[in-house]
Amino acid sequence: MRGPAAPGEIGLHHAFRLMYDEAQKAGIPPRHYEKFVNSINDLLTGFQDEKKWKVADTPPPLPIYNAVRSITAGAIPYCKYAPVQRDYRDLPDFVLEHPHILRMHWLTGLLVAYHNDFISAFRELSRKGDVVNIVAVIAHERDLSLEDAWMDAMELHDQALHEFILLQENLPDFGEWQAKAKIYAADLGTNVQGIYTWHHRDALRYRPAPTSNPPL
């Protein structure tokens, strides 16, 4: 994603190279593109971290789940990619890298992870190794039935959503960039809602396997 692929590289690397070429043609500011590339690297590394727990067939502790799934849900790369749009290209780093905004990025990833896990729970909890799911994590950590764990997980979701909205509605004083920062923060919420809608519409992806016995 940072330049030419070496001869003999797998096809995926060439697809990444095309992304790099398009970024150059579009004149994307290097600082924004670099943050996006780093977020993709974090995503792939997060998949490796998830695999450890899946191989062990043991749900991770909740803090580890939150740290990993907020990355592997795939929403943070969008948060980093959004500023390449012309409307946000001039937002300075003191806005985009402010702890308040970075917390919103993390919550965006976590909320998308929760949504994904709730909707895919019927499929995942019927398969060995699919343990990186918020319902499985809560059931294991708090020694609860899956039904009770589901309700506890929903409370965690609502707390995260409340925090996200509170941060969205109470941005720091960014001076002359306030109006644009507010629109950017609103777009982060649009991202959460849009992916939630997509999860619901993609019925085939999240439908239980024909031989599964959904536990909920």
Model pTM above 0.85: yes
For position 204, what pLDDT does the model report?
A: 59
Q: Is the pLDDT of residue 206 over 70?
A: no
Percent of residues, the chain, with pLDDT higher than 90: 62
**What is the mean pLDDT of the segment spanning 125-150?**
90
Confidence of residue 212 (pLDDT cuts 50, 70, 90): very low
Q: Is the pLDDT of residue 85 over 80?
A: no
> Which distant-in-sequence residues (6+ apart) come within 8 Å of 139 by Cβ?
59, 145, 146, 148, 149
To the nearest 10°, report the CA torsion of 125, 128, 134, 137: 120
Size of the chain, expressed as the number of residues it contains: 216
Higher per-residue confidence, 43 vs 4: 43
For residue 135, give the 3-state DSSP assignment: helix
